[in-house]
């Protein structure tokens, strides 16, 4: 019963089933590896230097995409330039990791030009979130490649401290399992449906998941633990997006739901909060739901592998995910 707590190539339009093909884990990054920072969406700013500094502190050799500092309206360069950087990063055999500089908007505009043969031929680490949800989805549906839902390199120290730096490093450089515990201070901690569920962790930003309906970017979520988070959205927006996904059949037979951060969700007196609206929608799915996870746009953002086998346990208040990389 739902409760509001106190405290092969994919055919166009046909998403790949969560448990169908063999999952591909990229090799763990090691000190001395070359990695590349690219901007498939919005324009990075001066905070980028801090993100690059952090990657270098891991012992990685950081390269910048050729067009990383371009600007075209609200985009980080023209579609052609951003796509060129994206494909160059996945084609270069010496580049072992690809890190997104910033989200915002724009990845969908170039995604259909992604060199999927290069992705399949030589899998590597990819890290990004928010707008990059669609790229993570395409890597999964086309290549069954695990990617990492974690911070952009446009880094803000006030939001991301030593624990979050270590979370990123451990996720992409070790084979340790990842365990997140629900944080009662997160607004989404109020969303729970008791139970235990296991499946590949898939999803990401709710806005981008809804925007992916009818495309090859949205995985078939049957048997999956669906990850959701968003920012700057009202309660009715969460309701609308989840209702759309449900009516479209995208949430049919999911195993469970892991809910990240509801960042900057307005609270209106006398109306539902974002947590109440989400519970109203996911509480009727008949699966366990665990909220309060520090995944998303808020402070203390942690890194998790998308596509790796995960378990949510609402009694323990934990999301446990297998390593997303191989030795």
Q: Helix H segments across 114-265?
A: 116-121, 133-143, 162-173, 206-211, 235-247
Cα end-to-end distance, the chain, whole Å: 41
Assess whether 66 carries a catalytic annotation: no
Total Cβ atoms within 10 A of residue 318: 16
Catalytic residue of the set 63, 164, 229, 322: 229
Q: Are 157 and 50 in contact (CB under 8 A)?
A: yes
At a CB cut-off of 8 Å and minimum separation 6, what does 65 contact? 36, 37, 38, 39, 85, 88, 89
Catalytic residue of the set 63, 67, 147, 297: 297
Assess whether 229 carries a catalytic annotation: yes
Tell me the C-alpha distance between 56 and 51, whole Å: 9
Assess whether 297 carries a catalytic annotation: yes
The token duo for 231 is 């920012």
The token duo for 317 is 């208040």
Tell me the C-alpha distance between 253 and 78, whole Å: 40
Catalytic residue of the set 63, 130, 212, 237: 130
Tell me the C-alpha distance between 173 and 57, whole Å: 13
φ, ψ dihedrals at 319, nearest 5°: -115, 120
Residues with active-site annotation: 130, 229, 297
């Amino acid at each position: 019963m739902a409760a509001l707590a106190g405290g092969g190539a994919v055919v166009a339009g046909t998403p790949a089933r969560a448990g169908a093909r063999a999952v591909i884990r990229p090799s763990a990054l090691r000190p001395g590896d070359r990695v590349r920072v690219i901007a498939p969406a919005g324009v990075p700013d001066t905070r980028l230097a801090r993100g690059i500094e952090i990657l270098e502190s891991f012992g990685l050799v950081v390269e910048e995409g050729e067009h990383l500092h371009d600007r075209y309206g609200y985009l980080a360069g023209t579609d052609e330039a951003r796509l060129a950087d994206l494909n160059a990063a996945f084609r270069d055999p010496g580049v072992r990791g690809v890190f997104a500089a910033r989200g915002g908007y724009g990845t969908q505009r170039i995604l259909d030009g992604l060199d999927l043969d290069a992705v399949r031929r030589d899998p590597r680490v990819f890290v990004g979130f928010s707008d990059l949800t669609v790229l993570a989805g395409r890597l999964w549906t086309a290549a069954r490649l695990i990617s990492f839902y974690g911070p952009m390199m446009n880094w803000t120290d006030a939001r991301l401290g030593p624990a979050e730096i270590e979370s990123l490093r451990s996720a992409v450089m070790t084979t340790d399992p990842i365990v997140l515990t629900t944080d009662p201070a997160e607004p989404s901690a109020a969303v729970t449906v008791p139970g235990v569920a296991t499946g590949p962790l898939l999803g990401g930003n709710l806005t981008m998941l809804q925007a992916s309906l009818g495309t090859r970017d949205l995985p078939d979520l049957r048997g999956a633990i669906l990850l959701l988070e968003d920012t700057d959205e009202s309660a009715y927006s969460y309701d609308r997006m989840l209702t759309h996904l449900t009516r479209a059949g995208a949430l049919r037979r999911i195993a469970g739901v892991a809910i990240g951060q509801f960042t900057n969700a307005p609270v209106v007196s006398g109306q539902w909060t974002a947590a109440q609206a989400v519970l109203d929608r996911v509480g009727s799915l008949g699966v366990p739901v665990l909220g309060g996870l520090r995944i998303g746009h808020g402070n203390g953002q942690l890194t998790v592998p998308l596509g790796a086998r995960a378990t949510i346990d609402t009694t323990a208040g934990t999301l446990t995910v297998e390593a997303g990389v191989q030795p």
